Amino acid sequence: MAKDDDGRIGVVAALVRSSFLVDAVYAASAREYGLTQQQGQLLCVLMGRSYGMTELGATLGLAKSSLTGLVDRTERNGLVRREPDPRDTRAVRVALTPRGAALVDEFYAETCRRIDELPSGLGPQERETLAELLGRVVLDNEVPVVFKEPDEGAAAGHPG
């Protein structure tokens, strides 16, 4: 996965390596807030609303047992709570606690700031082009909304 002779990196290597880059920034930010990377993802997903376990598992790409463990650990830390699902008495929904909401607001803002710095060497038009192209890749592949646009979070306190 080395650079081509002209200093360019191919699309496969560029996507994989950028994924690792964002992943590392996200993980470092989570650690600084006392979270695992998966807990950070869980909290960011829950910023907009509560989720049922099945929907949450599909959004995060986790098997039921992995999701249950993640929710259990995050609940023990006082960041999320299980609540009854008003539409299905057999099901539960997972929601942020006030402590979890306050923590994720800070974590989310700091993580957005750090990720926004990654393409700092690009000009405004290049950043716009990068966002447009990556956005198309994400939408074409129907990637779940696990991290909202920073402007959406600022508008209402939480992404919706």
In a domain, 3, yes or no: no
pLDDT bin (cut points 50, 70, 90) of residue 52 is very high
> pLDDT per residue over 23-40, tens digit each?
999 999 999 999 999 999
Q: Which residues contact 99 (CB under 8 A, 6 or more apart)?
A: 78, 79
In a domain, 118, yes or no: yes
Question: What phi and psi, each to the nearest 5 degrees, are found at residue 6?
Answer: -90, 10
pLDDT higher than threshold 80 for residue 148: no
Question: What pLDDT, on a 0 to 100 scale, did the predictor assign at position 141?
Answer: 92
The rounded percent of the chain whose pLDDT value lies above 90 is: 76
In a domain, 22, yes or no: yes
pLDDT bin (cut points 50, 70, 90) of residue 156 is very low
Q: Domain range for residue 28?
A: 11-154
Tell which residue, 101, 91, 98, 105, has the closest CA to residue 54: 91
Q: What is the mean pLDDT of residues 143-160?
A: 60
Asked if residue 83 lies in contact with residue 50, where contact means CB atoms within 8 angstroms, the answer is yes
Q: Give the total number of structural domains in the chain.
A: 1
Asked if residue 25 lies in contact with residue 118, where contact means CB atoms within 8 angstroms, the answer is yes
Average pLDDT, the chain: 88
142: buried, middle or exposed (CB in 10 Å: 19+, 13-18, 0-12)? exposed
In a domain, 106, yes or no: yes
In a domain, 5, yes or no: no
Higher pLDDT: 71 or 2? It is: 71
Q: How far apart are CA 151 and CA 108, in angstroms?
A: 11
pLDDT bin (cut points 50, 70, 90) of residue 153 is very low
In a domain, 4, yes or no: no
In a domain, 160, yes or no: no
> pLDDT per residue over 86-133, tens digit each?
888 888 999 999 999 999 999 999 999 999 999 999 999 999 999 999
Q: Which domain CATH number covers 131? A: 1.10.10.10
Q: What is the mean pLDDT of residues 53-62?
A: 92
SS3 state of residue 42: helix
Strand partners, 85: 88
Question: What pLDDT, on a 0 to 100 scale, did the predictor assign at position 2?
Answer: 52
